[in-house]
Structure 1
Amino acid sequence: MRARRPRPDLPDAGEDRARPAKPRDPQEERDALLAYAFRALGQRALSAAELRTRLERRSENPDLIEEVLKRVQELGYQNDEQVARSEGNRRGVGTMRVRQTLKRRGVQDDLIQEVVLARDPDREHAEVLTLLERRWSSLARKRDPQASAFAFLARRGYTGNVIWPALREFMADRPVEEPDDEPDWEGEE
């Protein structure tokens, strides 16, 4: 096999083969960042902190990031109150999960507290009963179904103050199943 000669028209392996990016003027950079913000907000409602983090990955200019963030807020495309309220209205998750999710998403503490206090305890109670009804067939097969139900609901963010009364109410409607000591063999004597 013959050795290959290096080709003079190709750069060496150590050199970057990509063309250097054409420097953008400030207006082009602003427009590109604004277009990215609209695309990101079109996919999912983002909190201001989440959008700021995404914009920081695209630009190193903090003034430009702040300008773009203010602009999308002025136009009504980004609003932390809407993000918090939609998270607070989610079904199938408890107050603790809502609080944890909003905190992780960077929503301010006073807004989190407002959303958590606005949640209806009767609605949570009804949601827990619905979840128990839907999942009871699989939970009933566990060694301790009530403990399994409690753990399942706690993982969904419901507090013990909501879980226990709903579990007691749900179990009161269930027939008491007593374990049989002897199998029921019909026809044998």
Structure 2
Amino acid sequence: MRRSRDPNQLPPPPRSPQEERDALLAYAFRALGGRALTEAELRGKLEKRSTDPALVQEVLTRVQELGYQDDAHVARAEGSRSTVGRYRVRQTLKRRGVSEELIQQTVEARDPEREAESAVTLLERRWPALARKRDPRASAYAFLARRGFGGDAIWAAIREVSAAADAVTELPDDEAWPDEDG
């Protein structure tokens, strides 16, 4: 809740341009301390704090010169996530304001075999809950599709995990029931 200003209190004195710059730069560092931001995200935050576009650009440039903000670093970090597929990576980077060229490079750098392994790993973890559903394969497909995996990786994962689950639940005929003597 904001406190209302005392009417008898004088407004703060106007800041000098250097004080404005320092305050905006300090804010940029605090914002980047929370999580890695793209240039577009940081620009949006700075524009909410300052009405001077030249000052916003100056602060952005300085933060980038010092290496605290780099879209390529953000893209690499998003691209290395193993719990999401390439479609989710693309969508997330696009939403965060990364250039289309950098998005394309990030998506192409992902290893399709590693992505397929990630889909299998995720599905193995989730399979016991999905197997109790009316149509476990459809539920599994929807689960992995929401995570951004492609159809090829999804179907391969479903075949592998469901076959492994079926093999565990089926006992060979000669071991199904113990002998009455044994």
- Which interval holds the TM-score relative to the shorter structure? 0.7 to 0.9
Alignment of 1:91-170 (within 5 A): 91-170=82-161
The residue matched to 1:24 in structure 2 has which SS?
coil
Runs of at least 4 residues off by over 6 Å: none
Please name the residue that 2:28 is paired with: 37
Larger Rg: 1
The residue matched to 1:36 in structure 2 has which SS?
helix
Q: CA deviation at 1:16?
A: 7.1
Greater CA deviation, 168-177 or 132-141?
168-177
Distance 1:73 1:79 in 2: 6
Please name the residue that 2:180 is paired with: none
Instruction: Give the aligned CA root-mean-square deviation in angstroms.
Output: 1.8
Please name the residue that 2:56 is paired with: 65
Residue identity in the other structure for 2:164: D
Normalised to the residue count of structure 1, the TM-score between the two structures is 0.83
**Structure with greater proportional helix content:** 2
Distance 1:85 1:127 in 2: 17
Please name the residue that 1:49 is paired with: 40
The residue matched to 2:165 in structure 1 has which SS?
coil
Normalised to the residue count of structure 2, the TM-score between the two structures is 0.86
Identity %: 65
Distance 2:164 2:10 in 1: 72
Q: CA deviation at 1:172?
A: 2.5
Alignment coverage as a number of residue pairs? 165
Distance 2:13 2:133 in 1: 63
Q: Name stretches of at least 5 consecutive residues in structure 1 with no aligned partner.
A: 1-14, 179-189
Q: CA deviation at 1:175?
A: 1.9
Distance 1:97 1:64 in 2: 34
Alignment of 1:1-40 (within 5 A): 17=7, 19-40=10-31
Distance 1:41 1:121 in 2: 32
Distance 2:91 2:60 in 1: 24
Please name the residue that 1:174 is paired with: 165
Cα deviation digits, residues 98-144 of structure 1 (max 9, x gap): 00000000000000000000001111111111111101110001000
Q: Name stretches of at least 5 consecutive residues in structure 2 with no aligned partner.
A: 171-182
Q: CA deviation at 1:22?
A: 1.8
